[in-house]
Structure 1
Amino acid sequence: MKVLKYIGLCFLALGCSSLEFNDFWKNPDIDTYSPNKVLIVGMTSNKKARLQFENGLKEAYELRGVAAVTSSEFLRASFTSEKKTEEDLSALEDKLINEGFDTILLTKVIGVEDKIAYKTNYKSFDPGYTKFKEDYLKYQDAYYNPDYYEEYSIYHTETSMYCICPTNPRELIWKGYIDVTDPNSVDDTVNEYVRLVVIILDEEQLINPGFIDTGVHDPAIQ
């Protein structure tokens, strides 16, 4: 039911026809979580999208009185240019703890689906077309008309929150899955994604309380 609620909230609040929140997992041992200092990591080779995404979430955390640092600020450029070992990442976690971090928020694309859709919707059965030639004429564009089909891509993304608290196990707190369908504007899509993540974390009490302008002003929805 919560997933359905968030999907509805996504469309009402953001008007985000390109975003769909599919599922999430929350650590059953954690009801609420108030981070003190967060490292925000966007794993993408698109530097512009990464900066915009990380800075958007940084601003959201800072508005709630939480210290936040982007990976673009904290990690050297060379860190992402080559593969890391488990020992490298353990050393990074130790460094984060020594510098007062207790949380990592990691977002990445975990898969891409290429889709093909008809540009025109047809009924499954039309009683007016009962002859071969009528049926053939209606659908013959499939052979030679490139406009008969529409190709698009769905990007499956995952955002995860990890605790690296020095006195507690380094564990997963929350993980959510969001699909981004054929984004036309990187700026708009990133902004919508950031707002959706913040709304969900707020609902799950995993981010310090703060005002969220969802764009919905109906008292029945607030």
Structure 2
Amino acid sequence: MKPKVISILFLLLMSCSSTKLVSTWKNPEIVLFDAYKVLVVGMAQDENVRVDFETRLVQKFSDNGVEAMRSIDLFDVEFTSSEKSEDELTEVEQQLLDKGFDAILFTKVVGTENRRTFRERMNNIDAMFTRFSSDYLEHQDIYYDPGYYETFNLYHVETSLYCICVGKERELIWRGNLEVMEPANMDKAIDTYLKLITGAMSEQDVIF
């Protein structure tokens, strides 16, 4: 994954009307999953957006009576600045168990694609042109107006909930996949994201 894609993870979540939950998956062996202490991990290079996202998600857990902690308070700069091995992550998991954690909520960008659309002329969208000259004159700026065609990035964001319970090796409990269009407003987008994810988890009897 390109660093640029990772670094703008939460800058993506900015348009209330353009963030949607595409699908969810729940472990069929789990009927009801309660967590008492959750580690919130937002994978992003930009520390400011990571802090903002993790802080607000932790608050969401707190509002629902679930203890949670930001990964930024647990993982130091040295930890996140280099690759980690399976053994190192196993040690981290044991440390979390020792501190009373029983779940990790992990959010990341898993892909992106470029989309192209065109600006609609709502006033003339149903117009019937009977002469070539009228039709041409109405639409001739297709040739030279750079704003006629608009490009935007569509990001695929994934949130996964893992159990780190004793005897279970980072077992996947729940996963949600979202599509997020090009940014517009940070606060609204994060709020929308939180509502979509926590709402879906609540409906499926996961934590909330």
Normalising by structure 1, report the TM-score.
0.78
1:186 correspondence with 2:183: no
CA distance in 1, matches of 2:137, 2:149: 17
More displaced stretch, 188-197 vs 104-113: 188-197
Q: CA deviation at 1:177?
A: 0.5
Query: In structure 2, what is the equivalent of residue 164 of structure 1?
Result: 164
Query: Quick one: structure 1 residues 129 and 114, their matched pair in 2 at CA, closer, same or farther if it must change by over 3 Å?
Result: farther
Evaluate the alpha carbon distance shift between residue 121 and residue 175 of structure 1 in structure 2; reply closer, same or farther with a 3 A threshold: farther
**Would you say the 8 A contact 1:160–1:175 is kept in 2?**
yes
8 Å Cα contact 1:114-1:153 kept in structure 2? yes
Tell me by how many angstroms 1:125 deviates. 9.6
**DSSP-derived class of the 1:52 partner:** helix
Shift in Å, 1:38 = 0.6
Answer yes or no: is the 8 Å Cα contact 2:112–2:153 preserved in 1.
Answer: yes
Q: Which residue of 1 aligns with 2:207?
A: 207
Query: Greater relative contact order (Cα 8 A, min sep 6): structure 1 or 2?
Result: 2
Instruction: State how many pairs are aligned.
Output: 193
SS at match of 1:17: helix
Letter in 2 for 1:52: D
Which sections of structure 1, spanning at least 5 residues, go unmatched?
1-14, 209-222
SS at match of 1:140: helix
Task: Give 1:168 shift.
Answer: 3.7
Give a deviation string over 1:140-181, Cα, whole Å, max 9, x none: 322211121122221210000000101445310001001111
Match of 2:95 in 1: 95
Q: How far apart, in 1, do the equivalents of 2:56 and 2:19 lie?
A: 17
**What's the CA shift for 1:113?**
1.8
Rounded Cα–Cα distance in structure 1 between residues aligned with 2:48 and 2:188: 13
For structure 2, the 5+ residue unaligned runs are 1-14
Q: Are the equivalent residues in 1 in contact too, given 2:110–2:158 (CA < 8 A)?
A: yes
* Deviation by residue 1:14-45 (Cα, 9 ceiling, x = unmatched): x9302111011110011111101110000112
TM-score, normalised on structure 2? Answer: 0.83
CA shift at 1:48, angstroms? Answer: 2.2
Q: Is the 8 A contact 2:129 2:135 kept in 1?
A: no
Question: How many angstroms apart in 1 are the aligned matches of 2:44 and 2:126?
Answer: 45
